[in-house]
Amino acid sequence: MFPESANFLGVYQVEVQWNGHSEMGIEHSGIRYKEAWIDASNVLVSQNSGGKFSLKFTIFVPQASSEWVPDATGLEETFKIQFSADGDSFRGTFQRQGEGGLTANGIKTGNISNHVVNVALPAKPTPNIADKDFQGFGCERTTAHEAVAEFPQDAQFLGTYSTEITWNGDNVLQIERHRIVFKETNVCASDVLVTQRNGCARLRFTIFIPGQTSEWVPGVTGLSESFDINFSETGFEGIFRRHGEGTLSIKGTLRVSLEERSKKLPTVERLARQDSLNCCPVCYETWGSDFVQVQTECGHCFCMGCIVSICNLTPPVTTGVCAMCRSPVTLKGLKRVKNSCEEDTANGSGDSAVSG
């Protein structure tokens, strides 16, 4: 959010050299310009010793085009502007993607509270990402103040995912409370559409990748990529579409550390004398905090890392065979071992007792 005391909040008539006039609305939560919106968190704000504010930001305008970037619809436009001491005007530079720098001037024509900015609101998403005229997902909000600043703290989809996109290789998608990070850039939570589908979360969003290129959009560096993905407990599946291309399938697998995974396992108590080795029979590492001991369905014990590696050798990666007896094992059937120092009872019972 811009500070309440900022004197640059308001509606401006903007004149860009050789580009005519447009309106720009600067609100507490962001900036509206043409058919686009940029969140205040993505605007660089500074103030000099004379009290004048300066703004630097790059905004993606979906319908912008340029004769210098043929066949591209949707371009970035960058502003570097400084306001007068009273905030009633600004001067600076403007640069559209693929073009050179131009001068930009603005004069305040009204306040946000009593003036409606004559620009289109962010577009609502089309029902189908595969639509011929799809230009990317917008935000469902009708005003910027209805935007959700963060995802819920208990949202099941928060985490880091290894993604695989058809014909595009592997990447990492990281979903944090206030943003989604992909290819070293991010989209704010307020610009992500979150709905429920069959009891699971569905996320739809478009993220602009500055260095992205495509042979289908020659001469352009920087393209939008859209996601329509449905989540499960272990990951997501859905549709991916890069600007200028068709739809592709995408899937993501939740990255979970072995420590986090082992904490969710039920426990089983074993007497020390039940184990002939005080270490994993595969890697020979001694049981300890760094090498969690787990028991398979057939009763043999391994460290968590080794049994996961065994299952990863053959598809599906959640099943495998025991390295000791070749019996089937599953990651779902593992139990975390809690060693007991108690002596065997008089009747010699060595049975293990499972606790939830």
- Which of 237-246, 259-268, 313-322, 338-347 shows the lowest mean pLDDT across its residues? 338-347
Nearest-Å Rg of the Cα atoms of the chain is 28
Beta bridge partners of 66: 69
- 28/102 Cα distance (integer angstroms): 27
Angle (nearest 5°) at CA 241 between 151 and 316: 75
- pLDDT reported for residue 18: 86
**Which alpha helices (H) appear in the chain, and where do they start and end?**
258-263, 304-312
- pLDDT reported for residue 164: 93
Over the stretch 197-245, which tens digit does the pLDDT of each residue have?
Answer: 677 889 999 888 888 888 888 888 888 899 999 998 788 999 999 988 9
DSSP string, 77-130: EEEEEEE-TTSSEEEEEEEETTS-EEEEEEEEEE-GGG----SPPPPPPPS-TT
Q: Is the pLDDT of residue 356 over 50?
A: no
- Which of 17-26, 69-78, 215-224, 326-335 shows the lowest mean pLDDT across its residues? 69-78
Rounded to two decimals, what is the model's pTM?
A: 0.46
- pLDDT reported for residue 198: 72
Which 8-state DSSP code applies to residue 217? S
- pLDDT reported for residue 318: 73
* Residue with the larger pLDDT of the pair 318 and 11: 11
Tokens of 341: 């120092």
What would you measure as the largest C-alpha separation in the chain, in angstroms?
A: 96
- 305/278 Cα distance (integer angstroms): 16
- pLDDT reported for residue 273: 56
Over the stretch 170-191, which tens digit does the pLDDT of each residue have?
Answer: 899 999 888 898 987 888 887 8
The band of 145, judged by pLDDT with boundaries at 50, 70 and 90, is very low
- 107/197 Cα distance (integer angstroms): 46
Angle (nearest 5°) at CA 208 between 203 and 212: 120
* Residue with the larger pLDDT of the pair 257 and 195: 195
- pLDDT reported for residue 146: 39
How far is CA 26 from each of CA 93, 112, 346, rounded to the nearest angstrom? 17, 8, 81
- 64/245 Cα distance (integer angstroms): 18
- Which of 9-13, 101-105, 165-169, 336-340 shows the lowest mean pLDDT across its residues? 336-340
